[in-house]
Amino acid sequence: MAKLGLHKQIVGDLSLPDSSPFAKLLGSYIQSKSLLDIRRLHVRIIKSNFASETFILNRLIDAYGRCGSLEDAGKVFNRMPQRNIFSWNSVISVLTKLGYVDEAAGFFYSMPEHDQCSWNSIISGFAQQDRFGEALFYFVRMHREDFVLNEYSFGSALSACSGLKNIKIGAQIHALIAKTRFFSNVYMGSALVDMYGKCGSVSCGQRAFDDMSERNRVSWNSLITCYEQNGPASAALQVFLRMMDCGIEPDELTYASVVSACASLSAIKSGKQIHARVVKCNKLRDDLVLGNALVDMYAKCNKINEARCIFDRMPVRNVVSETSMVSGYAKVASVRTARLMFAKMMERNIVSWNALIAGYTQNGENEEALRLFRLLKRESVCPTHYTFGNLLNACANLTDLQLGRQAHTHVLKHGFRFQFGEESDIFVGNSLIDMYMKCGSVEDANLVFKTMMERDWVSWNAMIVGYAQNGYGNKALELFKNMLASGGKPDHVTMIGVLCACSHAGLLEDGRHHFSSMSREHGLVPLKDHYTCMVDLLGRAGCLDEAKNLIETMPMKPDVVVWGSLLGACKVHRNIRLGKYVTEKILEIDPSNSGPYVLLSNMYAELGKWGDVVRVRKLMRKRGVIKQPGCSWIEVQGHVSVFMVKDKKHPQRKAIYSVLNALIKQMKRAGYLPDAGDEEAHEELATSAAVG
């Protein structure tokens, strides 16, 4: 009513002493975003004595700009009989707020003179449009031309450093701020913590926070987010507790960051406590960002039912909410439910696709992961590094070299160079190496390794382990030396590859040296897997007693795998005495394991001790131990055929057994005599062939 009365007074009074009533009314119209009222008032101004007054025309430009009418603002500016620096600043402010930063820059260069406001507007405009490099360019020019920098200049510049993740320039700006009165400003302190956090420097962020004489909720939120995004996530929870102790009331951003930290830590207990606090706060219950964080937290903690309850109660959902559910279902091996959720999504992004593809790969449904990738390509969705990582993982799991090479072609088409950066694609190169090594194509893996722009420790490990697994022990050891020479530091995986390489190449002394060097030279405590590798190496070399002593002096309890490695060596070297001892050790751990019985039985058979063979077999039957039948498979023209002992299910079984029978006869005519330990298997094969 007051606004209406003022409007009538202005319309009816043609002899106003000054233009302040017009300015006041324009302010109210800006608040209500009433463009029509501004235009009506503009008509009234034209009929008044203030039609040419620079002050009120500047206010009109600002009003039109704030209501989104760039055209009207431009007309007022162009028709002004006289302009001052505020006129130019008003136009630049309008252009930057509406996103026309290039046009604003054009006006900026046309200005007869600049002031602090002009510079701040242009710096802020570029920063808000994510054109961070240009924002810093104008900031540097402003400083060079000796204009006074204030909290708005510094704030926009720090925002640009955050966007570029440029900690070097950020630190220089921090040094400038330290020389001004803004150093203790809570707004500046919060911006510095935020900048350091986004640049990944937790220590600098913490130091900037500690230097603040006054803190508010934004300051605490910035530090919590800094730890949540960079780690350790546990520190984010500690900062949250300190914030509560200081009496600062959390908001939705605080809770969202802390809940995300709980998700990273799988800290379900803390997550539930924070969820309970959220439920008690009415204004936060329906917040979309916080709801998404809670869904994601429960999903990552494998509490998919709780995640679904929150999801179903959310009044508004978006692609983030739905993607979290798809990822959650996939993680708990409910890939069918994940696929149904994915199919119902109104909007999908590449994160949604990646979540489902990863779910299929992680649950062993590699063929479905590949089909989903083909569907993604048909729908013209642009894959990312994570898409290709999962795709190559699926090819590696299937050991399908042809598909792997096709995937490699897609990787090359997307221009990945395997280097560090804002979105590092090193792991795609590592996935390619792993895939080629698992498919037995060592040369292709080596080519990828050599063409990578940059490498990390995973790259070296993939090559060393791959060489070892494919029987290239000497090459693995040579590459390990190159890794050390280039300054690379080995980890536990590296040493497993090195010890496996020594084992496969029969390099006993090298193996002993590398095993002892783990703790002496590299600061690595040998794990169970390293002991298993050493037992395998010693066993292959015939050092059975040394292998037995190593097992019995292990700092951890030996398992079936390490004893089984020694038992295999006992069979190779026909050491029945030690074989019996090792068998007893294995059966103490796993009485139902058929492997030790079969190996011991075969060892007796090789020595012609048929009575002992019968005794072992009877003992198996008495204890109810069942030998799992052998299984093999072959792929012919894309179709996989699976075979088991005495298998009668294959549609071409008659032809298969006929060929087997012919081969057995041919082998016998050639004078082949099977090992005594394999006699039973040959008898079974002959019987099966006769029946077939």
What is the per-residue pLDDT across 419-434, written as a single tens digit (0 to 9) for each? Answer: 776 667 888 999 999 9
What is the per-residue pLDDT across 286-298, written as a single tens digit (0 to 9) for each? Answer: 889 999 999 999 9
Structure tokens at 682: 């040959």
| 670 and 585 in a common domain | no
Query: In this predicted structure, what is the pLDDT of residue 13?
Result: 52
Under 8 Å CB-to-CB from 561, ≥6 apart: which residues? 528, 532
| 311 and 225 in a common domain | yes
Cα–Cα distance measured from residue 547 to residue 532, given in angstroms and rounded to the nearest whole number = 9
In a domain, 73, yes or no: no
Element (H, E) at 427: helix 426-438
In a domain, 32, yes or no: no
Domain boundary among 608, 628, 648: 628
| Average confidence (pLDDT) over 364-384 | 92
Confidence of residue 169 (pLDDT cuts 50, 70, 90): very high
Q: Domain holding 576: CATH number?
A: 1.25.40
What is the per-residue pLDDT across 45-61, written as a single tens digit (0 to 9) for each? Answer: 888 878 888 788 888 88
What is the per-residue pLDDT across 315-359, written as a single tens digit (0 to 9) for each? Answer: 999 999 999 999 999 888 788 999 999 999 988 999 999 999 999
Cα–Cα distance measured from residue 103 to residue 595, given in angstroms and rounded to the nearest whole number = 78
| 642 and 598 in a common domain | no
Cα–Cα distance measured from residue 196 to residue 215, given in angstroms and rounded to the nearest whole number = 17
What is the per-residue pLDDT across 481-509, written as a single tens digit (0 to 9) for each? Answer: 999 999 889 999 999 999 999 998 889 99
Report the percentage of the chain scoring pLDDT > 70: 94
| 501 and 487 in a common domain | yes
Query: In this predicted structure, what is the pLDDT of residue 130?
Result: 92
Cα–Cα distance measured from residue 197 to residue 205, given in angstroms and rounded to the nearest whole number = 6
In a domain, 110, yes or no: no
The helix/strand/coil state of 635 is: strand
| 675 and 603 in a common domain | no
- Count helices and strands in the chain by DSSP H and E runs: 39, 2
Residue 183 burial by Cβ neighbours in a 10 Å radius (0-12, 13-18, 19+): middle
In a domain, 181, yes or no: no
Phi, psi of 211 (to 5 degrees): -75, -10
Residue 64 burial by Cβ neighbours in a 10 Å radius (0-12, 13-18, 19+): buried
Confidence of residue 678 (pLDDT cuts 50, 70, 90): very low
What is the per-residue pLDDT across 531-555, written as a single tens digit (0 to 9) for each? Answer: 999 999 999 999 999 999 999 999 9
What is the per-residue pLDDT across 636-661, written as a single tens digit (0 to 9) for each? Answer: 766 777 777 777 777 888 888 899 88
Query: In this predicted structure, what is the pLDDT of residue 676?
Result: 46
Give whole-number Cα distances, 374 to 238, 364, 394, in Å.
45, 18, 13
Query: In this predicted structure, what is the pLDDT of residue 677?
Result: 45
Cα–Cα distance measured from residue 64 to residue 34, given in angstroms and rounded to the nearest whole number = 10
Q: What is the 3-state secondary structure (H, E, C) of 275-310?
A: HHHHHHCHHHCCCHHHHHHHHHHHHHCCCHHHHHHH
| 622 and 597 in a common domain | yes
The helix/strand/coil state of 559 is: coil
| 616 and 552 in a common domain | yes
Can you give the residue range of the structural domain that contains 472?
A: 462-525
Cα–Cα distance measured from residue 632 to residue 447, given in angstroms and rounded to the nearest whole number = 32
Mean confidence (pLDDT) of the chain? 87
Structure tokens at 278: 């959220």
| 225 and 310 in a common domain | yes
In a domain, 326, yes or no: no
In a domain, 279, yes or no: yes
Structure tokens at 627: 């030998």
Cα–Cα distance measured from residue 513 to residue 529, given in angstroms and rounded to the nearest whole number = 17
Domain boundary among 599, 628, 657: 628
| 291 and 310 in a common domain | yes
Residue 582 has pLDDT above 90, yes or no: no
| 552 and 481 in a common domain | no
Domain boundary among 288, 316, 344: 316
Report which DSSP code applies to 629. P
Confidence of residue 675 (pLDDT cuts 50, 70, 90): low
Confidence of residue 669 (pLDDT cuts 50, 70, 90): confident
- The radius of gyration of the chain's CA atoms, rounded to the nearest angstrom, is 37
Do the Cβ atoms of 92 and 107 come closer than 8 Å? Answer: yes
Any idea which of 124-138, 264-278, 460-474, 665-679 has the lowest mean pLDDT? 665-679
Say what the pTM is.
0.72
Under 8 Å CB-to-CB from 2, ≥6 apart: which residues? none
Q: Domain count for the chain, please give it.
A: 4
| 575 and 505 in a common domain | no
Residue 690 has pLDDT above 60, yes or no: no
| 260 and 228 in a common domain | yes
In a domain, 446, yes or no: no
In a domain, 284, yes or no: yes
